[in-house]
Structure 1
Amino acid sequence: MSSEEGEDVLPKDDEILKTKKDKYKVITLLGKGGYGAVFSVERQSDKMRFAIKCEKSSAVKKVLLMDCNVLKGASQIKSKHFCTVLDRAAVKDRFNFIVMKLIGKNLWDLRQDRPDGRFNLNTALKTASQCLVSIEHLHRFGYLHRDIKPGNFAAGQKETNEHHIIFMLDFGLCREFVNRKDGKDIRTPRTSAPFRGTTRYAPLSAMQQIDQARKDDIEGWLYMVVEWTSGGLPWRKLKAQDREKVLAFKQEIRNPAKPEALDDFFYNCPKKEFSRIMKYVDGLNYYSLPDYQFIYFCIQHAASANGCKDSDPLDWDPDHPYSGPIETPGDGKVIDLEVEAGGDDFSKRKDSTKKDKRKKNEKDLPEEKGRK
């Protein structure tokens, strides 16, 4: 299929999309990538606005099912940091889609809105804490994100009073790191793993094509937090294809013979606490269960040492005290989660699941008494 034909299969402005629950009118395109696109829509039953994430039926790699499995886990533990899948359907031979709540600007755009290109320390640490909690939640479901970056976290909408809450987004590069059938044992690392992520924030393991683990999501989180605290990373001018040069920078900041490199990395940051986090994460191995609460403690210590209060406002809402969640991450131990198997068509998969369950129930019940 040509790129033009690929674009033609996606929703058009004012198109009506039908599901078993409702109808949705397409309003406008919010963003797109290789998988498909995200649109704002209006639910016809009550005129409320939502977002739909579409995936072309022709897409080789299916990512929406991963979204559904991850968001199912979030719903199970009632996490505040993930959108809920409100509806889902397929448009035959064109695309699958899921319906979710609309959110606001991502953290990259919110930082770019600042006159000096960085968050103040209070905002930097509050957003760091929320993102850390969301990563711990994701790991609790048994998934790695593998693309931690500011563009994959966003504040909620002001209209729904969620603009102080940070949401984790985009699970297309996620990977299940446990074998659920074997009692949630950690999967054996591969001898080599293709690069996954974004060069600027990718952990050392990804850069060296080593299988990623929970520690690597936290390493990516630290690069992201340093960037919005300091205003930039030492390798910010390098491009995605300059992977070897970026890797050299990341190795240099860990070289005890070059303390000036670490000072440059932590410019404008609470160096004591951030250094402690990096040293701790670098000491973990593939199988390690990170101590998320220790990392959270380091962030909170930096906040108190620098006079940041729980009520201090965020940069994008300076006139109101902070009303977002103040929560400690859990222990990261993997919970039981019933995940869906792969399939090409949402509507067909959903119907077949119902049919399979119905057959199972009929078989189990006594003969006379002859959703998922």
Structure 2
Amino acid sequence: MGPQPKPRTIAVGAAQVSPKKNPALLQPQQIHHGLPGMGSDIPRGKNAPPHLSPGQMLNGKFRIDKIIGSGGFGQIYKASDELARVSVAIKVVPAEHEPGRMILEQKLAHVSVAIKVVPADHEPGRMILEQKVLSLLRGTKYVPHLLASGMFNGLMYIVMEMLGKNLGELRRKRTDRKFSISTVLRIGLQAVAGLKAVHDVGYLHRDVKPSNIQYLNQNGGFRKERAYAGFRGTMRYVSVKVHDRKEQGPGDDLMSLLYTLIELGEGSLPWKQLNNPEEITQKKRITTFEDMCELFPSSIKSFYQHLKKLKYDQLPDYNLLTYYLQTALPSNMSNESPFDWEENPSISKSFEKSKEDESN
């Protein structure tokens, strides 16, 4: 039996960022129907035709392979760095509405990356802020590395480190649709460290999956709490405070992380089958920790209770949260132990085959 593969680092990434100075952009209805000054019928993101074509060269360096993802505004492509001979990912958005506002071109090291492209008329401020956040977090272990950024044929793009598989999709490939508690706890340890890095530079994640990081303020402190804050996040994972339209703080990021870990370890959340926002909110209010967590060690309840006590402008005790996760780990497990999907490579192969079938 050969040596066990070392576990892959869990990255807390950002597919979109939300500028602080235009809170109107945070309203879900505007994101869905279009931004001010834009027709609601303008296709963008996954609804727009591909901005780049297979084989196309971007700025003479990156050869486009295929589109691998899209969201409300941008598209993400797998590409090859022709100089370094590695795979990259490129994120693009169209940029016509701010022709003079170009992202600073950066010359960085060559590694495996991803490229995001977005038309600049589709909320260019988000792309610019995302590039800024990734620059601030450069060198952080748990955040995708920013490798380059610039303009190409009216498209704003950023080139990022190519990340691994989506944990949600890997979970759904498992027969019991969940991971072992050991794997979930170790995911949690890395995710807490990643979120701390984001919070330390003055930003919130606000979705605890690659999307929507929000600026707190220019001094790294907390802006004045609003009496009413627009909804931002994914209904299944946000805290009750977000449902109540309260201002989000770092503790809400961690509560979303906890809900994510519970789903990964238990297989589902008690409100999974609900679609009505009010019903989901009420279910979260009345569900006890014990109702959510049948399989998790008791120390994770302390994790939950710590988050419940936090006010908007209070930082979590990251060391304490890390301690609760480490205490819950089985004694025969360490950070070097393989994750569930590394122990069962057939899952990864099945995942890759399904992705190939989808793209053909």
TM-score when normalising by structure 2 = 0.73
Deviation at 1:186, TM superposition (A): 1.8
Q: Which amino acid aligns with 1:266?
A: C
- Aligned pair 1:116/2:157, yes or no? no
1:296-349 C-alpha deviation (Å, 9 max, x unpaired): 100011114x653444321111179xxxxxxxxxxxxxxxxxxxxxxxxxxxxx
Q: Which residue number in structure 2 is paired with residue 57 of structure 1?
A: 120
Q: Which runs of 4+ in 1 moved over 4 A?
A: 1-6
Structure 1's unaligned 5+ residue stretches are 153-168, 254-260, 321-372
Give percent identity, aligned residues only. 25
Structure 2's unaligned 5+ residue stretches are 1-38, 91-115, 346-360
Query: CA 1:309–1:83 in 2, change beyond 3 Å: closer, same or farther?
Result: closer
Query: CA 1:70–1:140 in 2, change beyond 3 Å: closer, same or farther?
Result: same
1:229-286 C-alpha deviation (Å, 9 max, x unpaired): 11110011123xx211111111112xxxxxxx4322112222x112111111111101
- CA contact 1:313–1:319 (8 Å) conserved in 2: no
Residue among 3, 10, 24 paired with 2:51: 10
Q: Which amino acid aligns with 1:274?
A: I
Q: Distance in 2 between matches of 1:144 and 1:47?
A: 35
- Aligned pair 1:318/2:356, yes or no? no
- CA contact 1:85–1:99 (8 Å) conserved in 2: yes
Q: Aligned with 1:42: secondary structure?
A: strand
Deviation at 1:11, TM superposition (A): 1.2
Q: Which residue number in structure 2 is paired with residue 175 of structure 1?
A: 214
Q: Which residue number in structure 2 is paired with residue 129 of structure 1?
A: 189
Query: CA 1:185–1:48 in 2, change beyond 3 Å: closer, same or farther?
Result: closer
Residue among 60, 65, 75 paired with 1:37: 75
Q: Distance in 2 between matches of 1:220 and 1:302?
A: 19
Q: CA RMSD in A?
A: 2.0
Q: Which has the larger radius of gyration?
A: 1
Q: Which residue number in structure 1 is paired with residue 16 of structure 2?
A: none
Q: Which residue number in structure 2 is paired with residue 86 of structure 1?
A: 147
Deviation at 1:9, TM superposition (A): 6.6
Q: Which residue number in structure 1 is paired with residue 292 of structure 2?
A: 265
Query: CA 1:312–1:4 in 2, change beyond 3 Å: closer, same or farther?
Result: closer
Query: CA 1:114–1:175 in 2, change beyond 3 Å: closer, same or farther?
Result: same
- CA contact 1:55–1:62 (8 Å) conserved in 2: no
Matches within 5 A, 1:230-249: 230-239=266-275, 242-249=276-283
Q: Distance in 2 between matches of 1:310 and 1:7?
A: 42
Q: Which residue number in structure 1 is paired with residue 305 of structure 2?
A: 279
Q: Which residue number in structure 1 is paired with residue 286 of structure 2?
A: 252
- Aligned pair 1:73/2:133, yes or no? no
Deviation at 1:33, TM superposition (A): 1.2
Q: How many residues align?
A: 279
TM-score when normalising by structure 1 = 0.71
